[in-house]
Structures are given as C-alpha cells and as structure tokens.
Amino acid sequence: GQTSPQIVARAGAYVTLLTLAGNLIPASGPVAVTARTIGLLTSQGQQSIKGRLSGIYGTLSRAGDDSYSFTREAPGLAVPVGKKLAFAPDIAEHGLDTWMIFIGANNIAKPEEIKRDIAAAVSAMKTVDKRYLVMTPVTGDPANTAYCEQIEDWASQTYSERVLKIREFSFQFNDGSAGDLADVDA
C-alpha cells in the first residue's frame, strides 16, 4: 500500500520532516503532527514506529484517519521546537539484517524514482559487507511491463547476482495448465 519513497524512509534511508502542533514536544503524552513530508505508516501495516525527533526518543503513530502523533518515550521537560523536524526511525535492531528490497509496485510508472529508492535502501544499510537481495517490482497491467523491464535491466546491471526478477522468476513455473495461463494473463 505504499510507494517506494515511503518504504525506504521507514527503513531509515530518507528523513521525513514533521511539524508539531504548537511547535512543542510536551513534557508527556502525544502531540499532533500537523504536517509531514513522507507518510511512513500505512493502514496496511504497522501503525507506529520508534525513532528520534529533535533528539527525543519516542513513538510516531498513525490513527485510522491518517493523522499522526508523536509521543515521547519518557516524561521530561517540554521542548519548544521549530517546523519541519527530522524524524529518524530507529532501525538499530534491523541495521545488520539481510534486507529483502521489494519495492516499486505502487509507483511502477516512476522507474527513476524506484531506482533511486533501491539505491538509497542499499546505501542505508549499516554493515560494511551489505547483505541484501533486490526483488524487482511486478505489475498486473501489461501497459506497465516496459517499466518493469527497465527496472529489471537497471537492477541486474547495478546489483548483478543480488537481483531476483520476480516477474521472470514466477513465469518459469508456468506449466501450460489453464490455471497458469489464466494467471499469466492476469
């Protein structure tokens, strides 16, 4: 349900800028986010994410109406802040993981954006010896096949054996049955 910039921002590759109600992080309790540059959270997944805002550790949460709030982890003094504060997601527990980068299906018509976002995700990994697999996006619309192929070619040239072309991979299992042919048509 998210575009590639939203996904890689949640993984810590991009910074989202937040503006808070009253330009203040209160001593305790949630504060409404009145503006944001990237929507990190979606109704189709996790509804909160830990991170730092103006040096204060806390939780960024999304409500069902797509409104956001920030709640500091520990009570403290109220902190006056400016507008457009950088929120840095806490990815410490995942920074050393093997990343499966499978993005772009929701913004497939923007292949340059997807390429940039894949590169940003790889760059954001904390390890020197980065462990990842790029899985190229798929589409159910034949009008978007050229976009998929453009991304597949770029990814293969850029990341070589660390690429799995999902579209091609799934087609290799077509056994010619009516069900498989219907799936390929879809």
The torsion angles phi and psi of 41, rounded to 5 degrees, stand at: -110, 155
For residue 122, what pLDDT is reported? 93
Looking at residue 55, what is its pLDDT? 92
Most confidently modeled of 10-14, 19-23, 42-46? 19-23
What is the sign, positive or negative, of the torsion defined by CA atoms of 144, 150, 156, 159?
A: negative
Q: What is the pLDDT of residues 140-172, one digit of tens each?
A: 788 999 999 999 999 999 999 999 998 888 777
What average pLDDT does range 57-72 have in this prediction? 94
- Band the pLDDT of 111: cuts 50, 70, 90: very high
Q: Kindly report the average pLDDT of the chain as a whole number.
A: 90
What are 77-90's pLDDT values in tens digits? 999 999 999 998 98
Distance of alpha carbon 153 from alpha carbon 170, whole angstroms: 17
